[in-house]
Structure formats: C-alpha cells, structure tokens
Amino acid sequence: MTDVKAEFLFDFASPNAYFAHCVVPGIAARTGVAIDYVPVLLGGIFKATNNQAPMVAFANVKGKLDYQMLEITRFQKRHAITKFRFNPHFPVNSLAMMRGAVAARASGVLAPYVDAMMRAMWEDGKKMDDPALIREVLAGAGLDADALMQAAQSPEIKKALADNTDAAVARGVFGIPTFFVNNEMWFGKDTLRDVEEAIVAAKG
Amino acid sequence: MTDVKAEFLFDFASPNAYFAHCVVPGIAARTGVAIDYVPVLLGGIFKATNNQAPMVAFANVKGKLDYQMLEITRFQKRHAITKFRFNPHFPVNSLAMMRGAVAARASGVLAPYVDAMMRAMWEDGKKMDDPALIREVLAGAGLDADALMQAAQSPEIKKALADNTDAAVARGVFGIPTFFVNNEMWFGKDTLRDVEEAIVAAKG
C-alpha cells in the first residue's frame, strides 16, 4: 500500500462545491484516505483562465441550464442530500470566507469551519460576504471567531489564498469543484465516482 | 418487467457520438434492452439552441480543452477503445451521411450503416461529406449504396431528419450524444453508466 495524496479544491461560492462536500467525507471514510480540502478563489480562477460560471456561459443556450438543474436534482437524490437551498443572494463574494478557511486550515479547524460555512451558504441561504455574519456563524459552531477572522486579515493568509489559487491554475484547474488524486485531475461533482475509483487504484 | 424505450440520438459529425457508439451496444447486450439509434443533425440542434461545439465555446478557456482531451483518453482506456483517430478534415458536414442514416433506418440496415460511417469518420479519417465516398464506404460494407443514397434524396427522408432534429430540440436536447430512457434525458458520453443504471431500474 502506497501513500495517496487526494485533494478537493473548493470555494464556498460554488453550489457544486457544497454538493461535493456532501459526498467527499464518505469517500475518505470508505477508502481510508484523507482528502485534503484546499481553499482557492473561484473568481481568481475564472479571471486567470478566462472561464465563467455555467449559469453565465450557458444563459442563452436553450435547454442547457434546465439540464444542469436536472443533474443537480439527480445528484441530490443519488446521495440523499435533503437540505440544499439555492442561496437567494447568489452570487455571494466569498473572499472573506475563503481567507477564513486558510486561517482555519492553519489552525487545524478546517473541517468544522467548512461545515459551518457550507451550511450557512447552501442550507440556510445567508449572505456570507459580511464579516459580522461570518463571525456569528463561527461562534454558533463553537469556533473562535475572533481569532480566525483576525488571522484571516494577515498578509500571510491573504498571500496563501492567492498562492493556492495561482498554483491551481498552473496545474490546469479552470473551475470548482476540482479533485486531484496524486497528480491526476478531475473536474465536476459528477466525477466523484471516478475519483473514488482512482483513490482505490492508487492505494494499490 | 415493463417495456423500456431507450434512445441514442447521434450525428456522425461528433467524435463523442463515436465514443458512445463504442459502448452502447454493450449496454444493450447486458441489459437486454434494444437501444434505438435516432439520427439527428447536430448543426440544426446547435442553431436552434444557440449552442456550439465545446472546441469553439471553450477555445479561450485555459485548461478546459486539455481536460476534455484527458476525459477522452480516460474514456478510451476505460472502454478499451483502440482505433479512434481524430478526423483530420474536422469539422465534416454530415448532412449526406445523416440523410443516409434515416434511409438505412427505414430499410432496416441502420446498424451496419452506422458501423460503416463511424469507422470511416473516426477510425479511417475520411472526408465523408462527399457522396461518392459515402457510396464507396457503403459498398465496401456490403450495403446497397445506390438504393440508400437515392432514398436519402427523397423529400420524405429529408423531412424525417429535420423532424427528428426538431423533436429532439423540443425535448430539451442541446448536443450530442444524448440518451433517453423513456422520457428521462442524459447528455454526454460520461453519463453512459447512469444510462445503463436507468435502463436496469426502468426494467423493474
């Protein structure tokens, strides 16, 4: 058995990151391989790659967005996801949340931080670009809101998020969710079955 | 066990239709459900839905086309597809081939017709917009090239292809390959595992 490096590149701004987050922990549990959550800025990725959200790119393509809604419905059904609600404030600027994620990662509390933000964004429909609201949600989750939000303002944390984003683009990332198994890349929530197979194969 | 209506909407112009065609017969064999090949005109679908080929739509998105090539490589590996060669004359106007497909379907020889055209387009790299070349390929496959190509020129066949295309758009189709299991739609070669599951589920 060899070491497997598995990564999930995420941004709270993306509903598909929420859907992936509903499934990724189960893959880690079944395979016994930890999956590293890597905070990146989707807006930065889009800018660097000249990409845009499907909702924008396909706005004028008849049938395409209806089909994407159908894919979302099927994904929820397959994975018994029952609490999703499209954020009424979409698109929500995720910069403060994502800097907080880098701070939470550095403090070893990324998992509860991610749970709290995902829930606030994609179950409770909160407008999470507001630092006061982020603090409130963090406190509600029993996290040290003051320490995290203060750390999130440090130059090191800001730079780390920008570096993660640049590194992702350099590896070929153009959207969220993206997964890596060692250096093999998969894009999109509907590739998670392949990602799980790849992790199993990589374990050898 | 109930009757299941399974359909594969195709156009020889699409390399992804070739890849789907490499897999669809195996699904039919494993499930025992015949999968109806429905000839449609991809150009007509694109025009009616304001869609375009991924190669065009994502031409300026860094990383996206490289990832699509990776998906193609993975699909070939997963399904042991070894003969694919990107057609050097791409894009090839498929109107004559697709009218011929409607004629072949009406004559009960659609399966060998599809095999012959797919091979010529996506293994042998021929410029199949040329009726003389279509005849040659059909004759080489032991099909009645004269009868098929003459039938393909009839107003009924021309109208049937246009009608298939219009009906597809009315059902929400925006690209190729598209699959239906009863009235449930799936788009893209990478949904074929879901299509197979849906056929099994629909058999009850």
Q: Is the pLDDT of residue B2 over 80?
A: no
Q: Which of B50, B63, B74 sits opposite A174 (nearest CB)?
A: B63
Residue B37's contacts (CB-CB under 8 Å, 6 or more residues apart) are B7, B8, B10, B24, B101, B105, B110, B111, B114
Instruction: Tell me which residues of chain B have a C-beta less than 8 Å from any C-beta of chain A.
Output: 48-51, 57, 60-64, 66-67, 70, 74, 169, 172-174, 185, 187, 190-191, 193-194
Instruction: Give the closest-approach CA distance of A27 to chain B in angstroms.
Output: 19
Predicted complex ipTM = 0.91
User: Residue B119 class from Cβ within 10 Å (0-12 exposed, 13-18 middle, 19+ buried)?
Assistant: middle
3-state secondary structure of B37: strand
Instruction: State the pLDDT at residue A13.
Output: 97
Positions in chain A short of pLDDT 50: none
Whether B18 contacts B122, CB under 8 Å: yes
| Cβ-Cβ contacts under 8 Å, B191 against chain A | 190
Confidence (pTM): 0.94
The fold of B6-203 is Glutaredoxin (3.40.30)
Longest dimension (CA), chain B: 49
Q: Which of B60, B174, B193 sits opposite A64 (nearest CB)?
A: B174
Range A1-27 burial, b when 16+ CB lie within 10 A, else e:
eeebebbbbbbbbbbbbbbbbbbbeeb
Which stretches of B91-183 are assigned E, i.e. beta strand? 178-181
Instruction: Give the closest-approach CA distance of A83 to chain B in angstroms.
Output: 24
| Cβ-Cβ contacts under 8 Å, B62 against chain A | 48-51, 169, 174
Band of the pLDDT at B204, cuts 50, 70, 90?
confident
Would strands A184-187 and B6-10 be described as parallel, antiparallel, or unpaired?
Answer: unpaired
Q: pLDDT digit string (tens) for B16-29?
A: 999 999 999 999 99
Q: pLDDT digit string (tens) for B58-112?
A: 989 999 999 999 999 999 999 999 999 999 999 999 999 999 999 999 999 999 9
| Cβ-Cβ contacts under 8 Å, B48 against chain A | 62
Instruction: State the pLDDT at residue A55.
Output: 86
**Cα–Cα distance for residue pair B49/B11, rounded to 1 Å:** 16
The per-residue pLDDT of chain A, averaged, comes to 97
| Cβ-Cβ contacts under 8 Å, B44 against chain A | none
Instruction: State the pLDDT at residue A1.
Output: 57
Q: pLDDT digit string (tens) for B137-157?
A: 999 999 999 999 999 999 999
Q: Is the pLDDT of residue B134 over 80?
A: yes
Instruction: Give the closest-approach CA distance of A170 to chain B in angstroms.
Output: 9
Instruction: State the pLDDT at residue B1.
Output: 57
